[in-house]
Amino acid sequence: MDQRIARSTLRVRGFHLDGYQHVNNARYLEFLEEGRWAYFEKQFDLAKLFNEGLAAVAVNLNINYRRAAVMHDELEILTSLSSLNHRSAVIHQVINRIADGKRIADADFTFVLLDTRSGRAMAIDGELRETLQRHVLDAPAGTE
């Protein structure tokens, strides 16, 4: 697997389910967030970024629900940086069921980098842009 992709796994538990006995749609947001944390922990020194006063802040999330996940499913979340713009970036994520490789959901998460001291979104340029650009994956996670 490409080193620019972070893979995390989880097991579907009873508290993830809704009355229909499949994962509640809102829980996928939590699964995706776990995947993004795993991605940032793998690719970057989070403590350094936080100490420099940077935070990634969500501005948009588009999710496609492909099929239901149910109790005891083992899921993998594949996360990669798919594009970099002047003031925002997009992370592409895929959730697959490990047993059969079926796609459960996929999402595109757009974020800005916030300067926590000023409370303002910052331009992605200079050294920061160069660092992030090395992580951009040409093909979205899980499509190769």
Kindly list the catalytic residues. Answer: 18
> Residue 25 belongs to what H/E stretch?
helix 25-43
Query: Residue 45: CA atoms inside 13 Å, Cβ hemisphere, count?
Result: 7
Per the CB < 8 A criterion, the answer to whether 129 and 83 are in contact is no
Per the CB < 8 A criterion, the answer to whether 74 and 9 are in contact is yes
Backbone dihedral region of 132: left (phi > 0), alpha (psi from -120 to 50 degrees) or beta? alpha
Structure-token pair, residue 117: 């001291």
